[in-house]
Amino acid sequence: MKRELEARGHRVEPVNIDLDPALKALYGRDIPVAVQDGREIARHRLAPKA
């Protein structure tokens, strides 16, 4: 997902959710997750580019 987001012009900052109990509780095993401006934009995979 990171490569695809970068190819689409997004800046990616990886976060290890295991180090943050709140994120771990929120996402659990639903990784990868992409969040932009506090809003989830993708979970597990990106939608095909339109």
Produce one character per residue of 16-50: b if its CB has 16 or more CB atoms within 10 Å, e if not: ebeeeeebeeebeeeeebbeeeeeeeeeeeeeeee
Residue 47's pLDDT is what? Answer: 83
pTM for this prediction: 0.74
Confidence of residue 49 (pLDDT cuts 50, 70, 90): confident
Token duo for residue 48 = 């095909």
Nearest to 4 by CA among 29, 34, 28: 34
Please compute the mean of the pLDDT values over residues 12-40 and round it to a whole number: 93
Residue 6 has pLDDT above 70, yes or no: yes
Which residues, listed in sequence order, are joined to residue 45 by a DSSP beta bridge? 43
Confidence of residue 15 (pLDDT cuts 50, 70, 90): very high
